[in-house]
Amino acid sequence: MRNLRSYLPVAALLSASVVSGACVGGKRRLDAEEQPPKKEDKLATNDKLANHDVPTLRVEKLAPGEKIVIDGKGDDKAWAMAASTGPFVNVGTGGSAESLPVKGSANITWDDDSMYVLIEVKDPDVVGYFTNPELQPKDWTVTGQPMTWTRDTAEIMIDPDGDGDNKNYYEIQINPQNKIFHSQFDTRNFPKTEPLGPFGHEDWDPKLTSAVVVHGTMDNPSDRDEGYTVEAAIPWSAFEKGAKNRPPKPGDSWRMNFYAMKNNGGTAWSPILGLGNFHTARRFGRVVWVAKSTKD
Ligand SMILES: [Ca+2]
Ligand SMILES: [Ca+2]
Ligand SMILES: [Ca+2]
């Protein structure tokens, strides 16, 4: 548990701002030799840094008639063919997550009804924790959702119009108990009321279907767990704000990120690199929805 401090968002911000700050500083020095940069130029430079080198995933549509059973098991034939993020990385540095307490990877595919997400979380001590708001008044929001990010959870962030500007984006967390936190934000982390929420528009309900299988023993730290598998179908109808096409048209690009979290820290598909917290949409990866390949 104490090791988590090394990759909590604040620590990530500090360590990674060194990386990005060096680049920005270098650019500034170059500018200064030519002419003093205008404020807008600095912003443009930061934007360029923020949006460059985010990962891109081409996500193939399911074959006609192909189905995914939402049972928390990734043994559906379709998953073997689905696009994969590969191993999640250190949120702050973009480097390997090998030494961190939670790791993960995600597969994704889609059809005309939904996007499908499979997140495999590796976690040697799987924590469920949430019982009910009466017993845990500080751990549930005012609208009755569990604050899953404070314990173990998988997280999906979605900015459907693809520009990564944090306008009208969505957050979904599914924990090892298959308890869900879902919300929609107008701009980054807004609206938000501390300390018990609501965090964003918690009344947004994606009407998703999900299942989770725990590989190990939940809420029992005396042994060593493998982790848990989250499988979800999120209908396109959920994304009323922001999406240009529902379902997307082949070639449409959305911005998304996937996280494996523990105690409000974690690992990610696309690293944030100190440019804010897990909500920073300009650091989300690009998901391009494409038609089923005919190359099989
Ligand atoms: Ca399944
Ligand atoms: Ca947007
Ligand atoms: Ca255990």
pLDDT tens-digit map of 119-157: 999 999 999 999 999 999 999 999 999 999 999 999 999
Segment among 9-23, 95-109, 261-275 with least mean pLDDT: 9-23
Determine the distance separating the centroid of ligand 1 and the alpha carbon of 105, expressed in angstroms. Answer: 16
Residue 269, pLDDT > 80, answer yes
Q: How confident is the model at residue 2 (pLDDT cuts 50, 70, 90)?
A: very low
Please report whether residue 296 resides in a domain. no
Ligand 3: centre distance to CA 95 (Å):
27
H or E segment and range at residue 1 = none
pLDDT tier for residue 68 given thresholds of 50, 70 and 90: very high
Question: Among all ligands shown, which has an atom nearest to the Cα of 165?
Answer: 2
pLDDT of residue 177: 98
Within-domain flag for 295: no
69 phi/psi in degrees, rounded to 5: -85, 120
Q: How far is the CA of 66 from the centre of ligand 1 (A)?
A: 12
Residue with more model confidence, 214 or 4? 214
What is the per-residue pLDDT for 5? Answer: 38
Q: What is the pLDDT of residue 81?
A: 93
Stretch 265-274: mean pLDDT: 96
Distance 247 CA to ligand 1 centre (A): 22
Asked whether residue 107 is domain-assigned, the answer is yes
Round to whole Å and give the CA distance between 34 and 268.
38
- CATH number of the structural domain spanning residue 144: 2.60.40.1190
Query: Domain of 189?
Result: 2-290
b/e map of 156-179 (b: 16 or more CB within 10 Å)? bbbbbbbebbbebbbbbbbbbbbb
Residues with CB under 5 Å of ion ligand 3 are 216-217, 220, 223, 225
Higher pLDDT, 37 or 45: 45
- Residue-averaged pLDDT of the chain: 87
Nearest-ligand number for the alpha carbon of 239: 2
Facing residues of 227 across strands? 122, 215
Phi–psi pair at 26, nearest 5 degrees: -60, -40
The confidence score (pLDDT) of residue 294 equals: 76
Is residue 242 one of the residues assigned to a domain?
yes
Flag whether the pTM goes above 0.95: no
Tell me how far the alpha carbon of residue 97 lies from the centroid of ligand 1, in angstroms. 26
- In tens, the pLDDT along 191-229 reads 999 999 999 999 999 999 999 999 999 999 999 999 999
Instruction: Please list, in sequence order, all residues whose beta carbon lies within 8 angstroms of the beta carbon of residue 70, skipping any fewer than 6 positions away.
Output: 209, 210, 211, 231, 232, 233
User: Is residue 266 assigned to a domain?
Assistant: yes
Measured CA to CA, the distance from residue 18 to residue 101 in angstroms comes to 23
Q: Structural domain tally of the chain?
A: 1
Q: Ligand 3 centroid vs 214 CA: distance in angstroms?
A: 10
